[in-house]
Amino acid sequence: MGSSYSIKWVGVDGSPEPRALQTSIEAMFGQFDEEVSGWRDDSDLARFNEAPSGTCQKVPASLVELVKASASLHERSDGAFDITVGPLLDLWGFHGPMGSGGLPARDELERALQRVGQRHLRLEDGQLCKSADVSVDISGLAAGYMVDEVVEHLGSYGITSYMVEITGELKAAGRKPGGSPWRIAIEEPRDDDRIAQVILPLDGYGVSTSGDYRNYFEYEGKRYSHTFNPRSGTPIMHELAAVTVLHPSAMEADGLSTILHVLGPDEGWTYALAHDVAALFVVRKGSGFISRATPKFEALRKGEE
């Protein structure tokens, strides 16, 4: 995934030694990389992306699950979540020197949008099919998916106290030795430093943050985020700097944080309340930030759920 991971757990009778457990988990990572990596040209996903329009390809179970999850998120968000936005990332320079070529022309954007849309994908008897020249990128769910997979792997050995973090997506449950909860810090969205804004105890919840304060470019005084609105084909331009979501599924938290970030401070807030999402919104206000949390998030922060 082009990043790092950290796994901590409390051993139980019969659980493997650390090195053995690490070996088994890294074997899982290796298989997943062969199946869905966007960094290599020989993965199952890369072969699908290279296939012509109108074709189907047998894909591994991991990719089937990820496509099903993305289809659900796409439908529930009225298209705000989409795994076919790769051509937009290319067009706007996020797969190369960001912003180096200025902004794309309208006709270029229109051509790219013809290759975007989950309506062009379908699953059929374990095969993934495309009705247009689309390119699938599951990076918006992959880390959360693997967090859940590692948690399930730990559970197969009876391990119920753990903290699993993969490329920034995280889930924790149980207690550390001594009985204290696992605690994580939610970062204040600043470009120049890392400051803890909220310290949260976690027990059985995944946490995911989406924001534009690490990956963006500026052009003629405007900030262009790496997060795209799939419906318009343009980077989001609102004042929502970051949003953090808590959910029992790390993959679901991963997807929901993206949806809320795309929707923005107002539409995203309305969506979070309507769907009872535990979310913390951090919005730019002048030279600083203001934060507000949904009732579900506040309850979890106070340990009331």
E-strand stretches of 146-256:
162-166, 169-173, 182-188, 195-202, 205-211, 216-219, 222-225, 228-229, 234-235, 240-247
Residue 294 dihedral angles phi and psi, to the nearest 5° = -70, 160
| Nearest 10 degrees: Cα torsion 210, 259, 110, 108 | 0
- Tokens 């949260």 label which residue? 200
Beta bridge partners of 57: 128
Which two tokens mark 29?
Answer: 């990572």
Is the pLDDT at 213 greater than 80? The verdict is no
d(CA 299, CA 119): 37
Summary mean pLDDT of the chain:
88
Could you give all domains of the chain from N- to C-terminal order, each with its CATH number?
A: 170-301 (3.10.520.10)
pLDDT tens track for 219-265:
545 555 667 788 877 777 788 989 999 999 999 999 999 999 999 99
Q: Which helix (H) or strand (E) holds 6?
A: strand 5-9
Which candidate, 266, 159, 124, 141, places its Cα nearest to that of 210? 141
Question: Mean pLDDT throughout 52-78?
Answer: 96
> In terms of pLDDT, which residue wins out, 305 or 180?
180
Confidence (pLDDT) at 284: 86
Confidence (pLDDT) at 115: 87
Banded model confidence at residue 94, pLDDT cuts 50, 70, 90: low
Q: Is the pTM of this model over 0.75?
A: yes
Confidence (pLDDT) at 223: 57
- Range from 9-18, 62-71, 102-111, 295-304 carrying the lowest mean pLDDT: 102-111
Is the pLDDT at 304 greater than 70? The verdict is no
> In terms of pLDDT, which residue wins out, 188 or 141?
141
pLDDT tens track for 147-169:
999 999 999 999 999 999 999 99
